[in-house]
Amino acid sequence: MVPNERPNTSTSTVLAEQVMEAVHSSTSLYRHGLGMIASENIISPMVRQAVNSDLHGRYAEGLPGRRYYQGCEDFDTVESIGIELAKEVFDAPFVNLQSISGTVSNIGVLKAFAKPGDNITAVSTADGGHISHARMGAVGVRDLKLTTYPWNEELMEPDIDGSLNLIREVEPKLALFGQSVFLFPTPLKELADAAHEVGATVMYDGAHVLGLIAGGVFQDPLREGADVMTGSSHKTFPGPQGGFVIGSSEDPAVHRKLNNAVFPGVCSSYHLHHVAGKVVALAEFKAHGHSYARDIVRNAQAFAGAMAAEGFDVLAEGRGYTASHQVLTRHGQLDSGAGATAALLLEKAGIITNMNMLPGDTKALKPSGLRLGVQEITRVGMGVNEMHEVAKLYARVLIHHEDPRSVKKDVQHLKDCFQTVQYCFDAGNNDAYPKTV
């Protein structure tokens, strides 16, 4: 715009209104539909209040009591309570709450424990590793040399003997474990010793399964050999978007290294409103997290069994399908794109999912699979009975080829009864999908 030119306020108002309309429409999609993307969740009313507070525009670089800005006394209270709560919830001697996402946590830890040119080992993206574990993501940002573990497709975990050999051969500076497609615990006890023997730092990316770990129903990485665990604060851990860095060492020098990796390493302002939301979510998790985690896994197993009974090809039958919040289904041939088609049809029926590569697929945009998560529908109170109903809705769309628009009515009918956030303060007495705060 030319200086002093009068802005066209009517156009900008229209644009802002259009944006708000889309925001409300997106809320309504989830109010009436089934949110089943495995990386997502909804927040509680109290977390929502924290996220919408004045803190959203404030700065507090540094740590509680040691800030570069004034005005942080109250926020110091928030973050100090949060650090202590997080240590309790994750049963860890060190937690940093400042990272603004799981990816940012990963970049910070890679910065702390490896330097450009170092070797790193991780699960490949084709086998379910996250993009931040790959050269196209954080591993490339740090210019690390990546070698990926061999994968056991039947068990859906790194092949133990092959990975042991690989670690001994490559002698990585950092051995990274954990995936985005995460059905079963990593055999960490078996692999961490070998990594330590060659001098590697053992890093576990628990982005997806952090709530299950804190809830005591998945695995216990810090006691199975992980030196550091990263994660998102908004997946099975049901807080606002953000990240955690969690360490098993009692050594203050390691704590300093990890704190510095986040600030000034990868964050300046670290979104104080989200930190406040994380702290409220930690308090709620302390009170309700164990039941939530237990119910997620119970529902995922019920849903997987019901999907198989409806005729779907559900992966990992031999291991009981899943031990996490995720269920994987195969649709058609490898690289056929049938997973993408299935996700589009489900969306028309009000069921929101994502296509996913399965072992053997090579094309990210033409995968044969769907990755489904039950953490959000569990959080609004659905139980085992509803998992069977949901599987029937999937079958009507994808197996019986019913018009998705007619299925959508029944999706909405089912969802009408599940409109409040559970496992939080004020459980059941709230609106899970408010238009405004």
Instruction: Summarize as ranges the residues that interact with ligand PLP (CB under 6 A).
Output: 39, 101-103, 106, 130, 132, 178-180, 205, 207-208, 232, 243
What's the CA gap between 345 and 429, in Å, rounded?
Answer: 33
Residue nearer to ligand PLP on the CB measure, 44 or 232: 232
Q: Which residue has the tokens 């942080």?
A: 72
CB of 308 to ligand PLP, least distance (A): 25
Looking at the Cβ atoms of 125 and 422, the one nearer to ligand PLP is 125
Q: Which residues of 114-145 are buried (b: 16+ CB within 10 A; e: fewer)?
A: beeebbbbbbbbbbbbbbbbbeebbbebbebb
We find the least distance from the C-beta atom of residue 14 to ligand PLP, in angstroms, to be 32
Q: Collapse the DSSP code of 211 into the 3-class scheme (helix H, G, I; strand E, B; otherwise coil) and give the result.
A: helix
Q: How far is the CB of 407 from ligand PLP (least distance, A)?
A: 28
Helix runs in 90-209, H state only: 102-113, 138-141, 160-170, 188-197
Do the beta carbons of residue 423 and residue 291 sit within 8 Å? yes
Is the CB of 108 or the CB of 215 nearer to ligand PLP?
108
- Let me know: does 183 contact 210? Beta carbons within 8 Å: no
C-beta nearest to ligand PLP: residue: 102
Tokens of 368: 């044969």
Query: Rounded to whole angstroms, what are the CA distances from 421 to 77, 277, 424?
Result: 27, 15, 7
Phi, psi of 68 (to 5 degrees): -95, -5
* Min dist. Cβ of residue 425 to ligand PLP (A): 24
Closest to ligand PLP by CB, 31 or 208: 208
Category of 401 on φ-ψ map: left (φ > 0), alpha (ψ -120 to 50) or beta: left
Closest CA to 56 of 100, 1, 5, 104: 100
Shortest CB 224 distance to ligand PLP, Å: 17
CA distance 24 to 17: 11
Nearest-approach distance from CB 240 to ligand PLP, in angstroms: 11
Rounded least distance, CB 241 to ligand PLP, Å: 7
DSSP 8-state assignment for residue 409: H
Nearer to ligand PLP, 209 or 411 (CB): 209
- Residue placing its CB nearer to ligand PLP in the complex, 82 or 240: 240
DSSP state of 99: -
Which of 41/378 has CB closer to ligand PLP? 41
Closest CA to 239 of 16, 423, 70, 55: 423
Which residue lies nearer to ligand PLP by CB, 111 or 130? 130
Rounded to a whole number of angstroms, the minimum distance from the CB of residue 54 to ligand PLP is: 24
